[in-house]
Amino acid sequence: MANNLIISYDLNSPGQKYQAVADAIKSLGSWAKVQGSVWYVNSSYSASQAGDKVYEQMDHNDSLIVVNASFNDATWWGLSEEVGNHLKRNWHR
């Protein structure tokens, strides 16, 4: 079954590898760029697997969230502790 992934990111320093991040996202499956840094991808990858592939192209001060709308699941990197904890507390309410 294919997964409906929503991918959003912030590259937080000048001179970032925008094309490498975009290429990693495009490699995940059938894609559409929804907004500047928000993408939809129909993919065989889980949110975690997709995020791993994309985050490899990012710096450690960047942030990324991947939501699997097919399974109501999400994973993220580089979000503040406050936001991460809020997501964990409220995701499945």
89 vs 25: CA distance, rounded Å: 28
To 5 degrees, how large is the angle CA 13–CA 18–CA 19?
155
For residue 19, give the DSSP letter: H
Q: How confident is the prediction for the chain on average, in pLDDT?
A: 93
**Bridge-partner residues for 3, per DSSP?**
43
User: Could you give the count of Cα atoms lying within 13 Å of 37 in the half-sphere of its Cβ?
Assistant: 15
Residue 48 phi, psi dihedral angles, 5° rounding: -65, -45
pLDDT in tens, 42-68: 999 999 999 999 999 998 889 999 999
CATH architecture of 3-90: 2-Layer Sandwich (3.30)
**Which residues in the chain land under pLDDT 70?**
1
